[in-house]
A and B are shown apart, each in its own frame.
Chain A
Amino acid sequence: MGCGSSTTTVDYSLKKSERAMKAAILIQRWYRRYTAHLEVRRRCTWTIFQSIEYSGEQDQIKLYNFFSSLMDHFTPSNTKERDLITSIFSEKEINEEMELEKYYDFENIHLSEGYKGPHLCFPLTASHAAALVEAFRHKQHLHARYVLQLLLETWKLLKLMPNINRVSTCYNKEITVCGDLHGKLDDLLLIFYKNGLPSVEKPYIFNGDYVDRGKDSIEILMILFAFLLVYPNQVHLNRGNHEDYIVNLRYGFTKEVMQKYKVHGKKILRLLQIVFSWLPLATIIDQKILIIHGGISRSTDLDVIATIDRHKYVSAVKQPKRRKTTRQGQRQPGECCCGINRNDSSPVPSTYRSGSDSRPLNSISKGVRLSVDKELERCRKQVGLSDDTRVSLLLSESDTEQYEASELENAEWKQVVDILWSDPVNQEGCIPNVVRGGGCYFGPDVTKEVLEKHNFQLLIRSHECKQDGYEFCHNRKVLTIFSASNYYEEGSNRGAYVRMGPDLIPHFVQYQSSKTTRKLTMRQRVSRVERSAIRDLREQLFAHRCDLLRAFEQCDKTKKGKISLNDWANTVESVMQLGLPWRILRSQLVPNTTDGHIDYQAWFEHLAIEQPIKETPQSSSLLETLYRNRSNLETIFRLIDSDSSGLISFEEFRQTWKLLSSHLNTEISDQAISDLARSIDFNKDGNIDINEFMEAFRLVDRNPS
């Protein structure tokens, strides 16, 4: 009896535990599949944001290259053209030494009676800097007079600093390194809250990209510069690729400054250009860890970098150009001389030769130059210049020599661009970074080579947003640190900073600066970020609908208005060139399919977005081109709005559009442009308000999901 009952008990319990195990595995399998789906959605969302962001950067550089080549090869022969081009490219050279203080005569900027913002007095003390942080935390506004004064003092200090800062962890100090902040004041405040304000005991290194995209860029700069002035030996600021006025035109910093400082904004921006150009390029800890914003290339040589005149590169986007020589072949005063700090007789080592491993941002080969000339010719014809005024556009060989910088200057420029713009990849080698348009993609072999050459053990860089705020690669020899949380959208990523003591072992702190995301489940978070990405993507698709329609029609052999899923995916990619997984995204972008086919006309109806500007059959493709290039247009407008009134005249608008249309290879009739300009002039005063213009293109979603 005993045996019988015990056998039954054992059997039952065995069965029970086996059942339990099977049940557990079932639930676990099912749950893991669910999270895998979420992960794919999150990954796709990320790719969408990133590819839109990088193609925007590429656009910016292409646009600038185009105008730059215009400057080189185009001789305007009417006043209007000349005025337009010079206003885009005017470089009011200021003899820094003498004139800065006079030009920025802030003594005469008086604080208004009702000013309730923070006051600064120089020399700054730690309590001033801390009070500034508190003031910004309470959303106060710093008066332009103090902004200018602070920037001037910062400039004076930065001028004394070498290109490469050297820092040591002696005295058991832990150093904190922060990555991109991009105008996100909340994140900087959170870092200071968690980690403490900068002080003698608490050194900080900030690795560039303080501005653009976020809405408090100027406040971040004020705080960082204030602490730099108070603790010049403990606070170190590297330059990022966004510390560059060309990039700022597109990514929001210029706009932010002009909006917050309507009267003195232009002065502030000009002074900022100078301050940015004086920011050091690199920081080294204990001669073992190299910290730079972007990355490296095979030719990166710190000895070269240490000797260049870094402030020559007001914008890293602009290739150095020598001015035309006078008849005697003498250089004109004020021109950059690269030999100032160097022994001119030193031979040029092989590393100086501009290699093929990274693309200089403005490489115009002869073939490209010729086609640019053809376009310019067309452009001139459109503008209506008669043949007598035709000027020789094709410069002779000897003439072109004057417009190209020496190999040495180019090699130096390349060193700077590589540091600010490059990205690490897992593939070996070093190739041009075509997605961003500048710098290169460098592999683990390049890292190994460069680190070994200088006897470093780690490269810390930023420049790329990471889901968890930081990421190692290249066998833990490269660390990316990114400090702007929720960069693409609320909930998209965490930010992080890293602390290191004398042992140089990194300790990470991650955070996310919003209170709401913590209460959401993973699914809710992913959904929310995803909705935002899909919305951005729909805008992009809508902006290209004429091209897409044409491509679909070519593909649709039966002319029934339907194409297969496969053709849809291939066509969309060939037009958009974003490298996205269109088949996976299809269900979010195209709601209805009938037996594996998509009705593409209906699809555009679905994507359709309400526009405040009335669309006629004649104007629809023009509007679409305008919409697609609104960022380019905004950039140009802000460039030519030289008195920063926020207004441009009809004539300026027309001229701008003509130049841009030759860049874009589209034909726009004079009448169409004039009609459009008139319709955009909302208050009918003959001027177009830049902000109003941009507002007109903030499209309203007709199908809110």
Chain B
Amino acid sequence: MAEEREIAEAMISEIHKKITDAFDVFDHEYNKTVDVREIGTIIRSLGCCPSEGELHDILAEIEDEEPTGYINFDRFLPTMTKVLMERRYRPIPEDVLLQAFEVLDQEKKGYLMPEQLTKFMSEEGEPFTQEEMEEMLSAAVDPDKNVILYKDYVTMMAVEAP
């Protein structure tokens, strides 16, 4: 019983350190606060994959009653610990991602036209900004054929676990 608790404590301690490190990268003044606009990046860098809507929910928990534009580490740590312990917003497995692309590729050709993807990403779900769209296209479009071979793209983009 005690051993189990030790293991759990060690795990929490590790999680705390991970969260602290990620937070510190964006803590420019070394005063344990970060700009609220960076919270999404921090949470994602810790391995989570929330949607924008889910991010807003987390922020609602963390932010002060009167938002100052800054988030304090003391409020971030407990919430983020829970998120990681409960393994919320897990990353998406490759095959599920492929299925998402295939929703667009009805004929199962194996590729998409850039205009198709652009329209889809800019109009559906939580739309991309123009910058995000351009960045994605710059890496995704095969320069010779001018199409998006989405299976190759997904494989190429697989993020190594930190």
Chain A residues with CB under 8 Å of chain B are: 19-37, 39-40, 43-44, 47, 425-427, 521-523, 566, 579, 581, 583-584, 587
Contact = CB atoms under 8 A, between A and B. Distances in A.
A36 B45 CA distance: 6
Contacts of B18: 583
A37 B45 contact: yes
Contacts of A28: 51-52, 121, 125-128
B96 interface: yes
Given A30-B97, A427-B31, A522 B104 contact: no
Given A26-B96, A32-B44, 12 more contacts: A24-B100, A24-B124, A28-B126, A28-B127, A28-B128, A29-B51, A30-B92, A31-B128, A522-B138, A583-B17, A583-B18, A583-B21
B85 interface: no
Interface string B113-145: 000000011001111100010011011000000
A129 B59 CA distance: 57
A431 to B, nearest CB: 12
B66 interface: no
A44 B132 CA distance: 21
B44 A25 contact: no
Interface in B7-42: 17-18, 21-22, 24-26, 28-31, 40-42
Contacts of A523: 139
Nearest to A24: B125
Which 5 residue pairs of A and B lie closest in terms of their CB atoms, listed nearest first? Answer: A24-B125, A36-B44, A24-B124, A23-B100, A23-B103
Given A21-B125, A30-B91, A33-B91, A40 B132 contact: no
12 contacts: A21-B125, A22-B100, A22-B125, A27-B125, A28-B128, A32-B132, A34-B159, A35-B135, A40-B22, A426-B28, A521-B138, A581-B25
B51 A23 contact: no
A652 to B, nearest CB: 42
A48 to B, nearest CB: 11
Contacts of B99: 23
A566 B17 contact: yes
Nearest to B128: A28
Given A35-B135, A40-B41, A427-B31, A29 B92 contact: yes
B101 interface: yes
Contacts of B83: none
Interface of B: 17-18, 21-22, 24-26, 28-31, 40-45, 48-52, 91-92, 96-97, 99-101, 103-104, 120-121, 124-128, 132, 135-136, 138-139, 157, 159, 162
A30 B37 CA distance: 19
A584 B101 contact: no
Given A25-B126, A566-B17, A31 B132 contact: yes
B94 to A, nearest CB: 10
Contacts of B126: 24-25, 28
A27 B28 contact: no
Contacts of B136: 31
Contacts of A522: 135, 138-139
B159 A26 contact: no
A584 B45 CA distance: 10
A28 B129 CA distance: 11
B159 A23 contact: no
A34 B124 contact: no
A100 B159 CA distance: 64
A19 B17 CA distance: 39
A27 B162 CA distance: 21
B25 A35 contact: no
Given A427-B31, A521-B138, A566-B17, A26 B92 contact: yes
A137 to B, nearest CB: 31
Given A29-B50, A33-B44, A521-B139, A584 B159 contact: no
A28 B40 CA distance: 13
Nearest to B91: A33
Contacts of A37: 44-45, 159, 162
B101 A27 contact: yes
A27 B100 contact: yes
Which of A24, A37, A566 lies at the interface centre, i.e. has the most chain B CB atoms within 10 A of its CB? A24
Nearest to A579: B30
A30 B96 CA distance: 11
Nearest to A16: B103
Nearest to B134: A522
Contact of B25 (A23, A26, A43, A566): A43
Contacts of B157: 34
